[in-house]
Structure 1
C-alpha cells in the first residue's frame, strides 16, 4: 500500500475560484434562459390578449352598426313610430281644416250670390212701381204720408246694398246710362244728362238697370 501524499492530493483538487466561476456560470445560465424566455412568453400572452380585445371591440362595433342598420330597415322605435303617427294625424287634420275653410268660403260666396239674386228679383218686380213713385215725386204730387212710405222703400233697398243713380247735369256714361234721346244743345261742350226718364239701379258694381235719360249733345255731334 502506497503512502498517502497530502501535497499531491491537494494539488489535484480544483481551486475555489474555479469552482465559484463554474458554479456561477451554471446557475446564471438557467436563470438567464428563464428570464429570456419569460418576456417572450409574456409578450406572446400580451399580444394574444390585445389581439383578442381588439377583435372583440371591432365585433361589438360591427354588431352595433348592423343593429342600427337593421333598425333603419325594419322601422323606427316605438317613440319614433308614435311621433310619425302623430305627425300623420296632424297633417290629416290640417288638410281637413283647409278643405273645411275652402268649403266655408264657397258656401259664403254662394249664399251672397243667392241673396243678391233674391234682391235683384224683388227689385226687378218693383221697378214699375218705383218708377211711378219717382214720377209723382218729380211733379210734387206726393202727400206727406205717401212721401214717408216712399222714403222707407228707398232706405230698405239701400239697406240691401241697392243704389239708385241718374241725375240731371252729370256726364253721360254709356256703361250706366241708356240714351233714349239726344238733344242738340248750343251751350253743351260734351254729352251730359239733360233729363232722367227712369232712374238706374245697381248693387255694388253690377248694374241692374241703366238709367234711361235724355242726353244734351253739342251741336254738330252725331246722335
Structure 2
C-alpha cells in the first residue's frame, strides 16, 4: 500500500473558479438562479392585480345620493360670498312667506270663531228677552203707550238693530214656511194665495239665521 501524501492530494483538487465556471455553463441559457426557491409558497397571498382592483372599488362612489350631496356641497363651496348671501336671503324669504300665510289663515279662523261666539251671546240674550219683547208688542198693538214707555221700547229696538237682530212678520205678507210658523189656517174667499192674517208673535233673525220663526195665523184660499 502506497503512503498517503497530503500535498499531492490537495494539488490534484480542481480550482474553485473552475468549479463555478463549470456550473454556469451547465445552467440553461437565459435563466437566473431563484433566490427564494427554498422559501415556502404563500397560498393566501392575493395577486397584485386583484389588490389593485379592490383599491379601485374602494375609491368608487357609494351611491347616487352621496354623489348628489357631494355635488351640492361642492356647488356651495364654489359660491361667492355674495351668492351665498343671496341664497340665504331667498331661503329666509320663502320661510317668511310660509309663516305669513299660516298667520293669515289663523287670523281668519280666529275672526270667524269670534263672530260665532258673539252671535251665540246675542242669541242667548235675545232668547231670554223674548217674553218681554212679546209683551211690549201686545201693549203697542192693543193699547196706548205713554211717552216714557215708548222711549224704552225704541231703545230696545235700536239696541237689537245695533247687534244685527232683525224683527220680521207683518200682516198681509206672503206666507213663507221657512220664516213663519202657522199656528192656524183659516179659509178666506178673497185670498188667491196663503198670506199672513194675524201675527201672534214676531220673528227674529240674525243675518240668514232665524232665531225664532214668526207665529202667525194664515189666510188660505178656499178649495
* TM, length-normalised to structure 1: 0.65
RMSD: 1.9
Q: Give yes or no for the alignment of 1:139 onto 2:142.
A: yes
Note closer, same or farther for the CA distance 1:144–1:73 as it changes in structure 2 (3 Å cut): closer
Partner residue of 1:108?
111
Contact kept in structure 1, 2:180 and 2:214, CA below 8 Å = yes
Q: Does 1:197 align with 2:200?
A: yes
Question: Structure 1 residue 79: deviation in Å?
Answer: 1.8
- In the TM superposition, residue 142 of structure 1 has moved relative to its aligned partner by 1.8
Higher helix share: 1
Structure 1 segments (4+ residues) deviating >2 Å: 69-78
Which whole-Å CA distance do the structure 1 matches of 2:78 and 2:165 have between them? 65
The structure-2 alpha-carbon separation of the partners of 1:135 and 1:72, relative to structure 1 and needing over 3 Å to count, comes to same
Residues 42-101 of structure 1, C-alpha deviations (whole Å, 9 max, x = no match):
xxxxxxxxxxxxxxxxxxxxxxxxxxx995375533221111111011111111111111
Aligned to 1:35: none
* 1:122 has 2:151 as partner: no
Q: Tell me the residue number matched to 1:13.
A: none
Secondary structure of residue in 1 paired with 2:116: helix
Larger radius of gyration: 1
What is the aligned counterpart of 1:169 among 172, 176, 185? 172
**Equivalent residue for 2:209, pick from 206, 211, 214:** 206
Q: Secondary structure at the match of 1:174?
A: coil
In structure 2, runs of 5+ residues without a counterpart are 1-71
| Residue 96, structure 1, aligned to residue 99, structure 2 | yes
Aligned partner of 1:154 in structure 2 is 157
State TM-score, norm by structure 2: 0.65
Distance in 2 (alpha carbons) for counterparts of 1:116 and 1:167: 25
String of CA shifts for 1:17-37, please: whole Å, max 9, x gaps: xxxxxxxxxxxxxxxxxxxxx
Q: Is the 8 A contact 2:166 2:205 kept in 1?
A: yes
CA contact (8 A) 2:165 2:205 kept: yes
Equivalent in the alignment of 1:41: none
Distance, in Å, in 2 between the alignment partners of 1:154 and 1:120 is 15
